[in-house]
Structure 1
Amino acid sequence: MGEEKIPQATAKRLPLYYRHLNTLYQQGKQRISSKELSEAVKVDSATIRKDFSYFGELGRKGYGYDIQHLIQFFRNILDQHEVSKVALVGVGNLGTALLHYNFMKNDNTQIEIAFDSNADKVGKEIAGIPIYHIDDLEKEINRTGINLAILTVPAHVSQQVAETLVEAGVQGILNFTPSRLDVPDDVRVHHIDLSIELQSLIYLLKN
């Protein structure tokens, strides 16, 4: 079954499985059952088996899964042998924090370049990442061939910036702004609203 048929919920869980299996492999463990993996990643074993079923026969009954085989498999699926380069647009408080963090726990995703309109920031570097003027966004995205972007701009310019990103060839946007973005169907947007995440967490704690 082709990768494009994988449900989004499954795709979101793959990096979780991959990270955990890597840790186990480094600890010298060679195989794991769906029940053990379930307890470790807090996903029920039926869901894990369903997720894995999209990729054919990965394990066998009574033996479980060969960890090294799974890791190699997920590495190919997730393109973990290649570094995904990311652009960050909006070097405010959150953008600056993300530049300093820069996915240090994951060598396969790297913010390469940042954009802002603030003259005090343009031309400087934060954590080794160069900051360009937002007017140069299309030119620099084209030059670097980056197709992923993190959006941490003020809400009132988010749609306009998203359109420029799409025109420059960006295919995936991680949107930290409260705005819902209107983009073509072939561009993926993941919305991250910290206040909504917190409110849902509070609700779960209370109930």
Structure 2
Amino acid sequence: MAEVKIPRATAKRLPLYYRYLNILHDGGKTRVSSTELADAIHVDSATIRRDFSYFGALGKRGYGYDVTNLLEFFKNILHQDRLTNVALVGVGNLGHALLNFNFHQDSNIRISAAFDVNPKNVNTIQGGVPIYPMDQMIKQLRDQQISVVILTVPTNVAQDVADQVSEAGVKGILNFTSRRLNVPDGIRVHNVDLTNELQTLIYFIDHYDHGSDD
């Protein structure tokens, strides 16, 4: 299938569609309408139809969408038809939580390696994941052909670590630090600032009607 360029907002909703289609499929449902999807995931039906239209004719007027076919389509688009190994850099409190998070429950993603400076963590296995010293990071990322890294290191070392994983050839960084990273072209960074998200939520509670911004 040719590569499809879609808006960022649409791309962010694709995992949501995939997750709910899995629920429908597991429940034995064979078809679903955009209105039913809208009611379930709180995204209006016009937005769903527009999102799906970027990929061609995924459904039929008067019939809706075939759940199995749509699920297989999104599985392919999101590369959930194969296992994706990612690495975790920084095994502090948040890092430990992520190591024990069951990514497999909702996706085909696995943390296969972690890296840390704490002697108590290095050369141990936690949550089924081996933890290596930082001086082995570039080699291990290359040897294991890991292209996505989760960054949960202290803010003051975030850029230095980003430089190192960039050297190792990663293509994506999920950045949980408050530092905005400078990376070479060809590497995508997604920032997850928990403090910022909480402050934004509090603002929305005070200034907007209840609902979701998805």
Counterpart position of 2:160: 160
Q: d(CA) in 1 for partners of 2:187 and 2:102?
A: 23
Within a 5 Å distance, the mapping from 1:162-201 to structure 2 comes to 162-201=162-201
Unmatched 5+ stretches in structure 1: none
Counterpart position of 1:130: 130
Counterpart position of 2:91: 91
Q: d(CA) in 2 for partners of 1:65 and 1:106?
A: 21
Under a length normalisation based on structure 1, what TM-score does the superposition of the two structures give? 0.96
Check conservation: 1:34, 1:64, Cα contact below 8 A.
yes
Q: d(CA) in 2 for partners of 1:195 and 1:19?
A: 26
Q: d(CA) in 1 for partners of 2:196 and 2:4?
A: 29
1:106 Cα offset (Å): 2.6
Q: d(CA) in 2 for partners of 1:121 and 1:32?
A: 47
The root-mean-square deviation of aligned C-alpha atoms, in Å, is 1.3
SS of the equivalent of 1:5 reads coil
Q: d(CA) in 2 for partners of 1:102 and 1:157?
A: 27
Q: d(CA) in 2 for partners of 1:199 and 1:14?
A: 26
Q: AA paired with 1:170? A: V
Query: What is the count of residue pairs matched by the alignment?
Result: 207
Deviations 1:43-68 (A, max 9, x none): 11111111101110001111111111
Q: d(CA) in 2 for partners of 1:102 and 1:68?
A: 24
Counterpart position of 1:63: 63
Runs of 4+ more than 6 Å apart: none
Q: What fraction of aligned residue pairs are identical, expressed as a percent?
A: 57
